[in-house]
C-alpha cells in the first residue's frame, strides 16, 4: 500500500520501515489507523522483497500513546467488544507474520502502544521511552492483548503491578524486567532498530519463519508436543534450497545467499 496521512512506509533494502504518522495526537490509534496498520502488515507479509520490518512513531514524543480516547468514550458494550476483537486481529497478524518485526520505541508507548510493541518480535527503546498500560485509570482494561501478552512477557506479578496501578515505567525498568530487549540513546534509536532488522533480514527467510512459529506455538504446549512440532518443522526446513545453500556456504567458507526457497 502507499503511504497515507496517518501511516508512512519506507524501504531500506530488505527492511520496510512503517511509521505511524499522527504526531499531533501522539500517534494515537484510532479505528482508521488501526485498519490501515492491519492492511499494511498484510501486504508486507506477502511482499517477498521484505524480510524484516521496523515499526516506529512519528515525532519525538511518542511511539503510540494509546487508543483514541474520543472514540473510547462513546463506545457501547457491543461496540467495545467488536473494537477489541478488531484490534486483537491486527496485533495477532503482526505476531504471526512469519517475518521479524522490530519496535523502535520512542517516547510514550502506552495502552495500545505498549500492546503494539508486545506483538512485535523485538523491542528496542530509547532512553526517554515510557511504557505502560494505564487503561485502569479510565475505568477500562486493555483490549488489544495487553492482559495476555504482558503477563507472558514479564510474568504475572509484574504484569499485574503495571495493569492495576496503570503507572508507566522507564525504559531502564522495562529492560530490567524483560519488556524490552535493548535501551539506546534517543539519537541512536532508529540506527539500532535498522541494524537489528538488517541482521534479521539477512538470515534464511524460511528458517526465520519456522523459528518464529516453533517458539510462538511451542510455549503454549507441553514439552513433548512442542518437541514434536520442532521436529516436524526441522524436517520441512531441511528440504529447502536455503538449507542447501547455508550448509554449502559454511563448508566452502563463504557468505550464504539465501533466496527464501
Which grid coordinates belong to 16? 520496510
d(CA 27, CA 104): 14
3-state secondary structure of 228: helix
d(CA 51, CA 16): 8
Give the strand pairing for 182-184 and 108-110: unpaired
Which ranges of 13-111 does DSSP label H, i.e. alpha helix?
31-46, 69-72, 77-95
Does 115 qualify as catalytic in the annotation?
Answer: yes
Bridge partners (DSSP) of residue 20 are 7, 57
Q: How far apart are the first and last CA of the chain?
A: 25
- CA-nearest of 53, 64, 55 to 22 is 64
Does 257 qualify as catalytic in the annotation?
Answer: no
* Active-site residue, from 2, 5, 135, 173: 135
* Active-site residue, from 5, 115, 127, 173: 115
Are 4 and 41 in contact by the 8 Å Cβ rule? The answer is no
- CA-nearest of 125, 154, 169, 160 to 142 is 160
The C-alpha cell 487503561 sits at: 135
d(CA 3, CA 75): 29
Other C-beta atoms closer than 10 Å to the C-beta of 160 total 13
Q: Which residues participate in catalysis according to the annotation? A: 115, 135
Amino acid at each position: 500500500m502507499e503511504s497515507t496521512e496517518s501511516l508512512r512506509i519506507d524501504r531500506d533494502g530488505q527492511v520496510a520501515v512503517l511509521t505511524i504518522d499522527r504526531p499531533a495526537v501522539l500517534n494515537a490509534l484510532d479505528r482508521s489507523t488501526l485498519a490501515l496498520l492491519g492492511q499494511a502488515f498484510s501486504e508486507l507479509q506477502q511482499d517477498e522483497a521484505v524480510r524484516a520490518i521496523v515499526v516506529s512513531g512519528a515525532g519525538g514524543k511518542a511511539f503510540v500513546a494509546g487508543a483514541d480516547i474520543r472514540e473510547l468514550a462513546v463506545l457501547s458494550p457491543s461496540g467495545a467488544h467488536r473494537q477489541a476483537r478488531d484490534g486483537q486481529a491486527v496485533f495477532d497478524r503482526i505476531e504471526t507474520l512469519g517475518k521479524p518485526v522490530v519496535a523502535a520505541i520512542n517516547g510514550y508507548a502506552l495502552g495500545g502502544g505498549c500492546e503494539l510493541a508486545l506483538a512485535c518480535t523485538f523491542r528496542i527503546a530509547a532512553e526517554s521511552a515510557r511504557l505502560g498500560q494505564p487503561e485502569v485509570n479510565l475505568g477500562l482494561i486493555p483490549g488489544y492483548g495487553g492482559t495476555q501478552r504482558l503477563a507472558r512477557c514479564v510474568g504475572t506479578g509484574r504484569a499485574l503491578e503495571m495493569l492495576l496501578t496503570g503507572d508507566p515505567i522507564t525504559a531502564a525498568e522495562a529492560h530490567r524486567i524483560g519488556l524490552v530487549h535493548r535501551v539506546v540513546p534517543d539519537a541512536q534509536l532508529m540506527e539500532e532498530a535498522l541494524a537489528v532488522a538488517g541482521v534479521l533480514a539477512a538470515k534464511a527467510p524460511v528458517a526465520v519463519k519456522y523459528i518464529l512459529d516453533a517458539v510462538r506455538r511451542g510455549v503454549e504446549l507441553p514439552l513433548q508436543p512442542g518437541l514434536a512440532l520442532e521436529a516436524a518443522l526441522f524436517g520441512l526446513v531441511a528440504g529447502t534450497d536455503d538449507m542447501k545453500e547455508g550448509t554449502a556456504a559454511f563448508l566452502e567458507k563463504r557468505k550464504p545467499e539465501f533466496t527464501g526457497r
